[in-house]
Structure 1
Amino acid sequence: MSKQIQLETALSQALTPAHLSVADESHMHSRGLETHYKAVIVSERFAGLNAVKRHQLAYASLGDLMGQIHALALHTYTPAEWAEQGVAPASPTCRGGSAS
């Protein structure tokens, strides 16, 4: 099972999102395959939580999977926020860096 599917499954089970999108953005970076991901998560579980608490909740739902990837960009919204915004920001272009 790919890391992307594992991430989607873990986030879906823990956060019961109204919307979930997980993209493998490894091709934009120099660290290899299945290393960089972007997740857009819309969940009622985020209501009343600041960005740090939302990210901690997402990271906790992934458990050991976090140790198997290099980077995870999280964009977390409540359904009301998502209805207003409707799109997550684009990921920045990789600035290079070490390949190790």
Structure 2
Amino acid sequence: MRVQMKTLIVAVSLAFTASTLAVTAAEAQQRRERVLVCKSTKKSRNKGTVIGGLTGGTLGAAVAGNGAKTEGAILGGVVGAVAGNQIAKKNSKKNCHYEYRYR
């Protein structure tokens, strides 16, 4: 009779432990996280690069003097392209929002 009682206690303890672990594992899988979601910035950055390069090249050629219009256009185009890319990158970050997702 004692052996049966010990067996019953061990079985109940194991069943309780297994059910507790199953509930804990299920809760861990349902954890919500706050995630920052942004739209792709590639199109807007490319557009900013092209517009900046064209504008910079035009202004560089207009400002350059003494027959250095080509060099001014090239330098202005490069500076304008970099500036346009960075400005578009900064402005496109405003299209981000937070979402809650399950892990």
TM range (shorter): under 0.3
Kindly indicate whether structure 1 or structure 2 has the higher relative contact order, using CA contacts under 8 Å at least 6 residues apart: 2
Structure showing the higher strand proportion among its residues: 1
Q: Decide which structure has the larger Cα Rg and report it.
A: 2
Normalization by structure 1: what TM-score?
0.24
Normalization by structure 2: what TM-score?
0.23
